[in-house]
Amino acid sequence: SPDTRKEIYETVAPVVRLELILLYFFVTLANLNYDFFDPAISCGALMFRDLLPPAIDPGLPVVSWMATASLWVTILAEGGLPILLLFKRTRPYAIPIGLLFHFALGFHPHLGVYSFSALMYMMYFVFTGDGFITTLNTLLSQIVSTVRSPENANRVKAAIGVIIGLVALMGLAVLADRVTTFEIPELVEENLGVAVWFTWSLVIMALYMITLWRTPADQRAENTPIFVNRGLLWIMPIIIAVNGLFPYFGYKTEISFAMFSNLRTEEDNTNHLFLPTSLQFADYQRGLVDITSTDNEEFQYYIDNHMLITRFEFERMLTELDDFTVTCDCYGTTLEITREDGVLSGFDQEMSYDPMLGRFFRFRAVSKSEQMPCTH
């Protein structure tokens, strides 16, 4: 029933609001490192450069200036949004700012980036007030009535026909590229996702902005305090907080809200502005493995990219990969390890990897250089 759905929403929504604020907080915390503020390697700057058309020289002074501005916009947006969302009076301003920020961010081709932005679009809904929901329902009813109106029937059919035609043409073009020598990757395949994101984002942003504009100012945002008693549901924000702190305590470094941050915390060497490695009471990030030779392409990745790997991830690969030979400077010595017909030889060290723990723990590759490049 509507009353039951409303009761469930009012129970869960405050917890979700706090989870989103914590998410932004830990993303910003991870970005507060020296390498993120270096425009030459900063993820904030490099992600902007990734969006440049091939015809534009990335070395142009104006591009360098815009890349530097991009990293500062990222810091200010991701750091400012949780503050604006935290207070009732500033929430109506947070939503438009967040929509515009994630609209721009979503054009990056990495799946994790635009899927994250799409999720944020949906999450902002829990910060809207009852007046917003009422106005949105009215707006949607008006749109449906307009579409169903007999006077607009021909226009609607024409619009649907154009959309179907464009989708069909793009689909045929992609198919032609797959089965013939006809190539149009720049025109279709590389831009199809951009077109979908652009269209979908504009629709969602328009609904948000029109609804906010039509809603009375005192009813646009949720007025319920963030911290209200929700019993056991508060375990979820606690889990999120612990997950966000894991890299600084010596535990996992992947899926810990440190993506695209240039953060480095491994081997008692951190680039964070103020969180020291003395906080680490676990040693999963210590004793890095340097792979020197191999006949396996997955191990070869670390050699080609001048990366080190944690013992945990190295042992995961030893356990899961098929037959291989790998030589490494690791465990205080040089080892040549082989796996043949499922039998591992040349490795008798005590393993830190555990299959059950491996379901939850993942670790990023670590650069051999002084600076940490941008990795996801």
How many C-alpha atoms does 2 have within 13 Å on its Cβ side?
0
pLDDT surpassing 80 at residue 186: no
Q: Which of 57-61, 187-191, 219-223 has the lowest mean pLDDT?
A: 187-191
- Tokens at 177, concatenated: 């590229």
Res. 66: pLDDT tops 90: yes
Question: How large is the average pLDDT for residues 40-53?
Answer: 90
How far apart, in whole angstroms, are the C-alpha atoms of residue 270 and residue 343? 37
Buried residues in 67-97 as b, exposed as e (16+ CB within 10 A)? bbebbebbbebbbbbbebbbeeeebbbbbeb
Q: Kindly tell me if the per-residue pLDDT of 166 is higher than 80.
A: no
The most distant pair of C-alpha atoms in the chain lies apart, rounded to whole Å, by 80
Residue 143: predicted pLDDT = 83
Residue ranges per domain, the chain?
2-128+224-238, 131-218, 266-367
Q: What was the pLDDT predicted at 52?
A: 84
**Residue with tokens 């906010």, as numbered in its chain:** 212
Write down the mean pLDDT value for the chain: 87
Rounded Cα–Cα distance for residues 15 and 238 (Å): 10
* Cβ 188 vs Cβ 173: under 8 Å: yes
Give the CB-side neighbour count of residue 328, counting CA atoms within 13 A: 26
Check: CB of residue 253 under 8 Å from CB of residue 286: no
Strand boundaries in the chain, DSSP class E: 290-294, 307-308, 324-330, 333-340, 343-345, 366-367
Reply yes or no on whether the pLDDT at 179 is more than 50.
Answer: no
* Residue 358 pLDDT exceeds 70: yes
Integer Cα distance of 99 and 128 in angstroms: 13
Q: What is the mean pLDDT of residues 258-276?
A: 94
Q: Indicate the SS3 state at residue 335.
A: strand
pLDDT at 349 over 80: yes
